[in-house]
């Protein structure tokens, strides 16, 4: 009797949270609708000019901006974090392992403005001194983003490495393979699925990051031409202009949001498919 | 003597696990290790291929000689190549049947495809698995039955040409028919290899082994020809263990 009530209660709660989520999505889609209707889907998605004052609402520069910054961030973060995870799990002494854990948790908990501030005060000037220009570049934005997603990939990769059954490892060592060979041939292949989903999760986080990026990316709404160009991401586009946007401009920011969460939804679907289809 | 163990002691976490073990293992024989759970059989087995080195708080003294060479004078990779191990639970890698057997060859730097093919086939034949898997070498090893998986693990072990094979209760998770197949296989293997077999199954020790050592609480109580141990034990504790009065 009591259990039935608890179960019903939990059911209602979960329905409620799903409902809220759906309402938000519906709201965003409805608000974006006028933009798609008046400007045209392809003009929004593939337009290379973003100039609301002159009636241009192309968000292709921002789509590319988000993708490029994320890709570079991953290129920096993946080798670093997987290397770090392998070191901690396979080579470090126990006391180092226990030292690393809270450090990584703390890194993950630091608010993004702190990372942005660090980027602005340290990395932007370095980039300016080294490469000239303003210093607000894709390079710096990707580096800040990379630092921010490191903890996610590290700790999830650690879990992945940890979850490789020790029997596999022992069998491999008992056959006379070295520790390194065992890592390369047994541990990493077995952990690779989970590491992949970790990377996708980090990708979602990177694409969604806003504040830190705005502080260091320069935010010029143009298709970047080099890694030293400034860049504006989808999230920045919304955050920068939401304060004063009206009418179709306002709706086009919601269109940006729709594109953003479509990308993230696709990533989450991919990660779920990986987990369930080839799940370990 | 293939293997000689002299005054060997093991501590883990400063707790005595093995005390003053002295056993000789004759070449091309099957030597069974019996004894109640927790008496140190697995620990002893893993001392021989130095797998215990992986345990944090493992310390030992005394010596183990393989072909009169101290095993700590041999690097662990070459040692483990010479002293293979089959675990209690079959642990095929999540790879194809072929790749499981080829694994040891590949990690030891062999690239010659023909040689690998030949060796895989030989090893699968030697472990009495070839006929059952020859048409599906590329399918996953995880789809095999438990008994087949265990024979695959034996094939994987013999592919790297060991001298000694350590087996830790290789049949304990298997049905009687698979057990019979593996016992049969073990007896064939002794022509080429020296086998150390940990078993809980007294009948199995009696059926397959030439020598038996009885472990109790980290001590070897008695060691000798299997027939003698089972028919005419010298120590009372051995007698009561094999007659099933404890353990
Ligand atoms: N990694 C380890 N850390 C701490 N203690 C261990 C470790 N491995 C083994 N021991 C201890 O060593 C003793 C002997 O264990 P071992 O596994 O060798 O026994 P066994 O004879 O193989 O038992 P079983 O027949 O149940 O397999 C046990 O008391 C066990 O708790
Ligand atoms: Mg054991």
Nearest to A176 among B77, B87, B89 (CB): B77
- The one-character DSSP state at B96 is B
The verdict on residue A199 lying in a domain is: yes
Report, as an integer, the average pLDDT of A106-128: 93
Please report the atom of ligand 1 found closest to the CA of residue B215.
21
What is the tens place of the pLDDT at every residue in B105-116?
999 999 999 999
What is the tens place of the pLDDT at every residue in B29-67?
999 999 999 999 999 999 999 999 988 889 999 999 999
Could you tell me the CATH number of the domain that includes residue A155? 1.10.3720.10
Ligand 1 neighbours (beta carbon < 6 A): B 12-13, 17, 35, 37-43, 55
Report how far ligand 1's centroid is from the alpha carbon of B81 (Å): 24
Rounded Cα gap, residues A113 and A72, in angstroms: 20
The verdict on residue A24 lying in a domain is: no
Residue of B8, B32, B43, B89 to mutate, ligand 1, most atoms within 8 A of C-beta: B43
Q: Which residues pair with A57 in a beta bridge?
A: A50
Report, as an integer, the average pLDDT of A165-183: 94
Partners of B54 on chain A (C-beta within 8 Å) are 170, 173
Nearest Cα residue to atom 7 of ligand 1: B12
Nearest Cα residue to atom 9 of ligand 1: B43
Confidence of residue B177 (pLDDT cuts 50, 70, 90): confident
- Cβ–Cβ of B107/A173 closer than 8 Å? no
Report, as an integer, the average pLDDT of A216-235: 92
- Cβ–Cβ of A168/B94 closer than 8 Å? yes
Report how far ligand 1's centroid is from the alpha carbon of A126 (Å): 57
Angle in degrees, CA B21, B25, B27, rounded to 5: 165
Partners of B91 on chain A (C-beta within 8 Å) are 165, 167-168, 170-171
ipTM of the complex: 0.91
- Cβ–Cβ of A175/B87 closer than 8 Å? no
What is the tens place of the pLDDT at every residue in A244-255?
988 899 999 999
Q: Which ligand is nearest to the CA of B37?
A: 1
Distance of CA A144 to the CA centre of its chain: 12
Does the pLDDT at position B8 exceed 50? yes
Residues 202-221 of A with CB under 8 A from B: none
Rounded Cα gap, residues A153 and A202, in angstroms: 7
What is the tens place of the pLDDT at every residue in A21-42?
999 999 999 999 999 999 989 9
Report how far ligand 1's centroid is from the alpha carbon of B41 (Å): 8
pTM of the model: 0.85
Are the C-beta atoms of residues A234 and A63 closer than 8 Å to each other?
A: yes
- Domain hosting A146: range is 45-277
DSSP string over chain A: -HHHHHHHHHHHHHHHHHHHHHHHHHHHHHHHHHHHHHH-HHHHHH---EEGGGTEE--HHHHHHHHHHHHHHHHHHHHHHHHHHHIIIIIS-HHHHHHHHHHHHHHHHS-HHHHHHHIIIIIHHHHHHHH-S-S--HHHHHHHHHHHHHHHHHHHHHHHHHTS-HHHHHHHHHTT--HHHHIIIIIHHHHHHHHHHHHHHHHHHHHH--HHHHHHHB---S---STTS-B--HHHHHHHHTTT--HHHHHHHHHHHHHHHHHHHHHHHHHHHHHHHS--
- Cβ–Cβ of A177/B107 closer than 8 Å? yes
- Cβ–Cβ of B156/A167 closer than 8 Å? no
pLDDT, greater one: A278 or A194: A194
The verdict on residue A1 lying in a domain is: no
Helix axes A124-131, A138-162, angle to 10 degrees: 120
What is the tens place of the pLDDT at every residue in A51-80?
988 889 999 999 999 999 999 999 999 999
Rounded Cα gap, residues B108 and B97, in angstroms: 18
Partners of A193 on chain B (C-beta within 8 Å) are none
- Cβ–Cβ of A167/B104 closer than 8 Å? no
The verdict on residue A14 lying in a domain is: no
The confidence score (pLDDT) of residue B242 equals: 86
Report, as an integer, the average pLDDT of A215-226: 91
The confidence score (pLDDT) of residue B176 equals: 87
Partners of B56 on chain A (C-beta within 8 Å) are 94
Domain boundaries, chain B: 3-242
Partners of B108 on chain A (C-beta within 8 Å) are 176
The verdict on residue A142 lying in a domain is: yes
Q: Which ligand is nearest to the CA of B219?
A: 1
What is the tens place of the pLDDT at every residue in A83-94?
999 999 999 888
The total of structural domains in chain A comes to 1
Neighbours of ion ligand 2 (CB under 5 A): B 42
**Torsion angle, CA of B206/B35/A171/B119, rounded to 10 degrees?**
-20
The verdict on residue A156 lying in a domain is: yes
Cα–Cα distance list, B93 to A214, B36, B90, B98, B208 (Å) = 47, 30, 10, 11, 28
The CA distance from A269 to the nearest CA of chain B, in Å, is 26
What is the tens place of the pLDDT at every residue in B78-123?
999 999 999 988 999 999 999 999 999 999 999 999 999 999 999 9
The verdict on residue A106 lying in a domain is: yes
Does the pLDDT at position A279 exceed 70? no
The confidence score (pLDDT) of residue A280 equals: 46
Q: What is the CATH number of domain B3-242?
A: 3.40.50.300
């Amino acid at each position: 009797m009591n259990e039935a009530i608890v179960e019903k209660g939990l059911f209602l709660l979960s329905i409620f949270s799903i409902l809220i989520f759906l309402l938000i999505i519906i709201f965003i889609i409805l608000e974006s609708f006028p933009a798609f209707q008046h400007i045209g889907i392809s003009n929004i998605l593939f337009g290379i000019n973003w100039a609301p004052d002159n009636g241009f609402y192309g968000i292709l520069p921002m789509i590319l901006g988000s993708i490029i910054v994320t890709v570079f961030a991953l290129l920096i973060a993946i080798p670093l974090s997987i290397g770090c995870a392998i070191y901690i799990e396979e080579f470090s002494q126990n006391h180092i392992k226990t030292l690393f854990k809270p450090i990584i948790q703390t890194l993950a908990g630091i608010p993004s403005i702190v990372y942005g501030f660090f980027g602005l005060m340290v990395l932007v000037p370095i980039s300016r001194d080294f490469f000239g220009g303003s210093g607000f570049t894709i390079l710096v934005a990707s580096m800040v983003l990379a630092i921010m997603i490191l903890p996610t990939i590290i700790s999830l990769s650690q879990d992945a490495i940890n979850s490789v059954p020790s029997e596999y490892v022992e069998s491999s060592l008992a056959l006379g393979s070295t520790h390194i060979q065992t890592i390369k041939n047994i541990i990493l292949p077995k952990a690779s699925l989970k590491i992949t989903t970790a990377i996708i999760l980090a990708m979602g986080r990177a694409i969604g990051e806003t504040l830190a990026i705005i502080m260091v990316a320069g935010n010029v709404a143009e298709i970047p031409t080099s890694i030293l160009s400034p860049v504006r991401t989808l999230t920045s586009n919304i955050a920068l202009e939401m304060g004063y946007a009206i009418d179709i401009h306002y709706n086009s920011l919601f269109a940006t949001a729709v594109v953003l969460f479509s990308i993230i939804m696709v990533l989450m679907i991919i990660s779920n498919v990986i987990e369930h289809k080839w799940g370990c | 003597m293939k293997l000689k163990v002299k005054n060997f002691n093991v501590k883990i976490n400063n707790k005595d696990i093995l005390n003053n073990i002295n056993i000789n293992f004759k070449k091309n024989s099957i030597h069974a290790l019996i004894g109640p759970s927790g008496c140190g059989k697995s620990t002893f087995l893993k001392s021989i291929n130095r797998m215990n080195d992986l345990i944090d708080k493992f310390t030992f003294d005394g010596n183990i000689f393989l072909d009169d060479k101290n095993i700590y004078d041999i690097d662990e990779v070459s040692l483990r190549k010479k002293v293979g191990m089959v675990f209690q639970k079959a642990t095929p890698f999540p790879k194809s049947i072929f790749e499981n057997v080829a694994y040891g060859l590949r990690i030891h730097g062999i690239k010659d495809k023909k040689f690998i093919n030949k060796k895989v086939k030989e090893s699968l034949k030697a472990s009495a698995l070839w006929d059952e898997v020859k048409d599906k070498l590329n399918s996953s090893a995880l789809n095999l039955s438990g008994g087949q998986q265990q024979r695959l693990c034996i094939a994987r072990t013999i592919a790297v040409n060991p001298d000694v094979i350590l087996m830790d209760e290789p049949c304990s998770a298997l049905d009687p028919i698979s057990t019979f197949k593996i016992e049969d296989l073990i007896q064939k293997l002794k022509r080429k290899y020296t086998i150390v077999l940990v078993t809980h199954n007294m009948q199995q020790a009696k059926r397959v082994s030439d020598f038996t050592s009885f472990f109790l609480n980290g001590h070897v109580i008695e060691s000798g020809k299997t027939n003698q141990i089972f028919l005419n034990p010298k120590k009372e504790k051995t007698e009561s263990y094999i007659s099933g009065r404890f353990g």
